[in-house]
Amino acid sequence: MSQTISDTRPHYHFKPWNVGRWIIWGGFALVLLAAPLLWTSSLAQTMLSQMGIAIIVCLAYNMLLGQGGMLSFGHAVYSGLGAYLAIHALNKIGAGWWLPVSMVKFIGYSTRHVRYIAFILSGFFAGIGGGLSAINTEIVNAEVVGAARSGAYLLFVFLGGATFFFGPIIGAVLMVFALVLLSEWTQAWQLYLGLTFVLMVMYAPGGFAGLIMMNLRVASFGKLGKLWTAYLALGGAGMVVLMGASAMIEMVFHLQLNAALGAEVPFMGATLNALGKDAWVGSVFVVLTGVGLFEVARRQFNLQWGETQEEIEKEIKRRETL
């Protein structure tokens, strides 16, 4: 009888702590604490602040896109409202007013309620990010609630990897670099972002986080070393294509926006004549050469990647039989 009772009792299996995950996120927390001490310039401090704010908003947006499967093209409204509330609150506090603070809790179990709560929490944290942005910049205008800002959240969350928690963090860092640095380097920065988005959709729909996780799986089986040459070949061919395409893009934008300044275009330490045939022929030749090299490298990479995956599957089956 006692044996029967003991067999019917539920068995609880407690998983050990994921030490690797604690190390990674603990290291990330240390980086956040050390970064302001290492980079002390005003530009670096501003970029770090914007990265932190962007991470909050992108993670909030990913609660809808990555976790809830809900696509939003107007999420900047919530961050913008948070910014407006924060700036008005600062004005009121400066005038000697006291502001009350309240909190509301929402609880639900059905899929509809869970998504509803996720939407509320996503908007709430987006508003927190918008409020912090207003405190950081002390400027709020109509752009913070515009479609371009919502599109930027969608674009960079996707580029970072919407299906992984750390994907929006990567996307937020990329967004700050693009908006602050890339926009200073070239007037065609939005075109470069669009091309990057198209390439990611075609070749890496999981975003940068997806690429990282795919290669971590390969590395966990000790197979990553076999792919380094293929990665170098892909990267080198891609850089050749990028160099030629960038030269043509910069010449086109120069002729459209700065034609009055002359035909000379500074590009990577050289000077291109936007009205001369040599620059265009050379750029086209570089692009075509890079495309050919990239196609050869891509086929070789696909072959090696397939062989590596087969070896991993065989290793998994071997371990299961032990």
In angstroms, the CA 316 to CA 225 distance is 19
Count of domains forming the chain? 2
Same domain, 47 and 146: yes
One domain, residues 173 and 237: no
Are 257 and 175 part of one and the same domain?
no
Please report the pLDDT score of residue 10 as a whole number. 46
Q: Is 265 helix (H, G, I), strand (E, B) or coil?
A: strand
Contact 166, 180 (CB under 8 A): no
Domain co-membership, 312 together with 256: yes
The residue segments making up the domain with residue 278 are 221-321
Give the pLDDT confidence of 173-186 residue by residue, as tens digits: 998 888 888 888 88
**pLDDT single digits (tens) 85-103:** 887 777 776 666 654 445 5
Instruction: Quickly list H helices, 9-104.
Output: 19-38, 42-62, 76-94
Query: In this structure, is residue 15 part of a structural domain?
Result: no
Task: Determine, yes or no, domain membership for 6.
Answer: no
Residue 191 lies in a domain: no
How many CA atoms lie less than 13 Å away from 90 in the CB half-sphere?
15
In this structure, the answer to whether residues 259 and 315 fall within a common structural domain is: yes
Reference 144, options 66, 64, 53; nearest CA is: 53
Q: Report percent pLDDT > 70 for the chain.
A: 88
Check whether residue 58 and residue 177 sit in a common domain.
Answer: yes
In the predicted model, residues of the chain with pLDDT beneath 70 are 1-20, 93-111, 114
One domain for residues 174 and 247: no
Comparing C-alpha atoms, which of 161, 10, 154, 146 is closest to residue 80? 146
Judge if 48 and 154 occupy the same domain.
yes
The CA distance from 284 to 162, in Å, is 35
Do 229 and 150 lie in one domain? The reply is no
Distance (Å, whole) CA 317 – CA 311 = 10
Whether residue 229 is found in the same domain as residue 180 = no
- Is residue 301 included in any domain, yes or no? yes
> Residue 124's closest CA among 147, 98, 156, 102?
102
State the pTM of this model.
Answer: 0.73
3-state class (DSSP) for residue 266: strand
Residue 27 in any domain: the answer is no
The reply to whether 118 and 59 lie within a common domain is yes
